[in-house]
Structure 1
Amino acid sequence: MSSVNAPSLCDNEVSAEQIAALDAHLLDLDTANRLAEIFKALSDPTRLRIIGLLMEHEVCVHTLEAALSMSQSAISHQLRVLRQMNLVRFRKEGRHVYYALDDEHVELLFAQGLLHVEHG
């Protein structure tokens, strides 16, 4: 999937073979839109900080408030966005609500982005 060593495709006349080679890797519009929504959800620094906190532990909303020095309503808003995108899941225990990353794909996505930022 890496384009680091991919051949360049650029000619004045585009052949059917070139189009076929590109079509094999072209995302359909629905998939591209869903992926864009994921990246949009990840484009907020507060949401990324929340994901970073959830990388190793399930965390209660009250703990997120304290760690981020934000109000419960502000944290809840950010968590709602992450829930809607299936990036985090929650469970209730009494009056407490605990959040965790939805699955390992979220962790991998976050970790790869962080590696890229730290690399450059």
Structure 2
Amino acid sequence: MVSKSNANALPSPESSPSLTHPIVPDQSRLDAATATFRMLSDPTRLHILWILADAEADVTALTEACGASRTAVSQHLAKLRFTGLVDTRRDGRRIIYRIRDGHLARLVREGLNHADHVVTGEPAHE
């Protein structure tokens, strides 16, 4: 168990990023997590993030993969970029989108894995 005195400690600069952060969540962390879940609550945004969890893509590829209009995909990408969930880079005249970090990619994948269990009735597992 993590003591409350260590709950807000930052990793030392020499340590590498970890997959888990065993801390007691304070209000700022709860608010940040809630904001992320809020952005995941839209089916089109979730679909976009699921695609970007596997590979970078431009608006055209995301539009084709999602089946949403280009305008809708562009608006969702703007929200995802504004909230810091996706990054961009320029490739000639195209803007390429990518998911910001591995935690978010794993969260998206796990959410959809959970949904598969709900939809198919497959028993839950650890």
Bigger radius of gyration: 1
Alignment-mate amino acid for residue 89 of structure 1: D
**What TM-score does the superposition give when structure 1 sets the normalisation length?**
0.71
| Residue from 41, 50, 75 that aligns with 2:73 | 75
Deviation of residue 116 (structure 1)? 1.7
Residue of structure 1 equivalent to 2:15: none
| Residue from 92, 101, 109 that aligns with 2:90 | 92
**Structure 1 unmatched ranges of 5 or more:** 2-19
Residue of structure 2 equivalent to 1:58: 56
**Structure 2 unmatched ranges of 5 or more:** 8-22, 119-126
For 1:52 and 1:66, the matched residues in 2 are separated by: 14
Deviation of residue 43 (structure 1)? 0.3
Deviation of residue 49 (structure 1)? 0.7
Residue of structure 1 equivalent to 2:104: 106
Alignment-mate amino acid for residue 100 of structure 2: D
Partner of 1:90, secondary structure, is strand
| Residue from 116, 119, 122 that aligns with 1:118 | 116
**CA contact under 8 A between 2:57 and 2:96: conserved in structure 1?**
yes
How much identity, in percent, do the aligned residues show?
36
Deviations 1:30-73 (A, max 9, x none): 22111111000000000011112112211111111222233332
Q: Aligned residues, how many?
A: 100
Give me the CA root mean square deviation: 2.3
The 3 A distance-change label for structure 1 pair 39 and 64 is same
More helix per residue: 1 or 2? 1
For 2:77 and 2:107, the matched residues in 1 are separated by: 17
Alignment-mate amino acid for residue 94 of structure 2: H
